[in-house]
């Protein structure tokens, strides 16, 4: 029978495999989901719906990390930043990873049962497919970060489906904004591994954009903000939302100062800082609805 110390060691390895010790991925997945939850619920989401989507985000991001590391298990040992990951280092087996991923997906499905409709079920299946297939797009797709944007933003149509029972046009505009945002922040992330990715043959937007990588990142931030401004105009948002977008624009401008020299650690700092970009947009949405309710 395994000792407590042995069990704790295994759980620590699973935690690292799910990257629960690095919550930035959860936050980048959570913010656009919360944008959609607040908009779909007209600023008054039920607490249970909010918690279902928060916990679902944690579970699906964790499952996505397990799938990603399984897909990259032959590449990660050759990349400085990823060589110590559990699958790459051989401290967790592929079989354990499969079981863990299956457990996480089942838990996520059980979580949405109170909200389940045929539409939401179909979207949930699509979300699992996107999470499972994303890591493999890095073998052949020139812009896998765009595919990541769809996967990371799929909580948007799911939120509308769960709350409204349909997916209005505004949801797809939000998803488009998230795709450009993911292109921006994940290209910053890809700049960190550029040299290793060239050596092992992984496709990333940082390589596809070439010497125009910094310009492309800033154009993606710009496209994100334009699309979010369009969403706000369509919904009749006022100055609180505009203030949130202005803060997000300032954050994007700060990121330019970090990435313009392509220093690896400063690029990674910019990637991590995107949490505040998403938070600024959410704060604008939440404050706009709050002031509306106070005036009503």
Q: What pLDDT score does 197 carry? A: 72
Which residues lie below 8 Å from residue 246, measured CB to CB, with a gap of 6+? none
> Quick check: 26 and 272 in contact, CB under 8 A?
no
> Which residues constitute the domain of residue 224?
4-295
d(CA 247, CA 249): 5
Q: What pLDDT score does 243 carry? A: 98
d(CA 47, CA 180): 29
**Cα–Cα separations (whole angstroms), residue 126 to 43, 95, 134, 177, 183:** 27, 24, 12, 19, 21
What 3-state DSSP class applies to 262? coil
> Quick check: 111 and 59 in contact, CB under 8 A?
yes
Output the domain CATH number for residue 38. Answer: 1.10.357.140
| pTM to 2 decimal places | 0.93
Q: Which residue has the higher pLDDT, 77 or 286?
A: 286
Query: How many percent of the chain have pLDDT more than 90?
Result: 66
What 3-state DSSP class applies to 19? coil
Count up the domains in the chain and report the number. Answer: 1
pLDDT tens digit string along 68-85? 888 878 777 777 777 888
Residue 165, sorted as left (phi over 0), alpha (psi -120 to 50) or beta, turns out to be left
Q: Calculate mean pLDDT across residues 204-212.
A: 86
What's CA 29's distance to the chain center, in Å? 3
pLDDT tens digit string along 241-276? 999 999 999 999 999 999 999 999 999 999 999 999
């Amino acid at each position: 029978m395994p000792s407590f110390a042995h069990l704790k060691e295994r759980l620590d390895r699973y935690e690292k495999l799910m990257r629960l010790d690095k919550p930035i991925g959860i936050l980048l997945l959570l913010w656009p989901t919360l944008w959609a939850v607040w908009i779909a619920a007209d600023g008054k989401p039920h607490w249970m719906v909010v918690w279902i989507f928060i916990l679902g985000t944690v579970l699906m991001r964790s499952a996505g990390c397990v799938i990603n590391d399984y897909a990259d298990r032959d590449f990660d040992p050759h990349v400085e930043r990823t060589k110590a990951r559990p699958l790459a280092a051989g401290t967790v087996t592929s079989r354990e990873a499969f079981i863990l991923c299956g457990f996480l997906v089942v838990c996520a499905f059980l979580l949405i049962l109170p909200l389940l409709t045929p539409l939401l079920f179909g979207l949930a299946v699509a979300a699992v497919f996107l999470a499972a297939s994303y890591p493999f797009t890095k073998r052949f797709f020139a812009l896998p970060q765009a595919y990541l944007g769809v996967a990371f933003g799929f909580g948007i149509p799911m939120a509308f489906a769960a709350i409204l029972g349909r997916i209005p046009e505004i949801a797809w505009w939000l998803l488009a904004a998230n795709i450009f945002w993911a292109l921006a922040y994940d290209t910053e992330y890809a700049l960190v591994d550029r040299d290793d990715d060239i050596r092992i043959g992984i496709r990333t937007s940082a390589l596809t954009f070439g010497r125009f990588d910094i310009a492309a990142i800033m154009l993606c931030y710009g496209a994100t903000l334009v699309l979010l401004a369009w969403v706000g105009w369509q919904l009749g948002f006022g100055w609180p939302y505009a203030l949130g977008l202005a803060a997000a624009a300032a954050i994007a401008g700060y990121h330019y100062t970090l990435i313009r020299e392509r220093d690896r650690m400063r690029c990674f700092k910019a990637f991590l800082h995107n949490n505040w970009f998403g938070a600024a947009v959410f704060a604008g949405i939440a404050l706009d609805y709050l002031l509306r309710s106070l005036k009503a």
